[in-house]
Amino acid sequence: MDKIHGHEVMHMMVNSGKSYSRETLRSAIHENFGAETRFFTCSAENMNADELIQFLESKGKFQPAEGGFTTAPEKICNH
């Protein structure tokens, strides 16, 4: 099973130029990284896509956008 840092999902979001809902972000994560992939961040581990989305939202990593939310490069920590 692959383990991917949450930053990679945020980079995917920025690079896509799209806004997302929770459902469309989950679909994009599954399409880009695989439905069975587990995610980790600087302070959490072993999350599925839904848990990662909830985690990123709770950390203020999303910003409102037309049709849902997106993120920005400055929201991605570099450590």
**pLDDT tens for residues 7-49?**
999 999 999 999 999 999 999 999 999 999 999 998 999 999 9
Domains of the chain by residue range: 3-75
Domain 3-75 has CATH 1.10.10: yes
Residue with tokens 């990593």: 61
Phi, psi of 10 (to 5 degrees): -65, -40
Q: Output the CA torsion 29→71→12→24 (10° steps).
A: 30
Is residue 78 very low, low, confident or very high in pLDDT (cuts 50, 70, 90)? confident
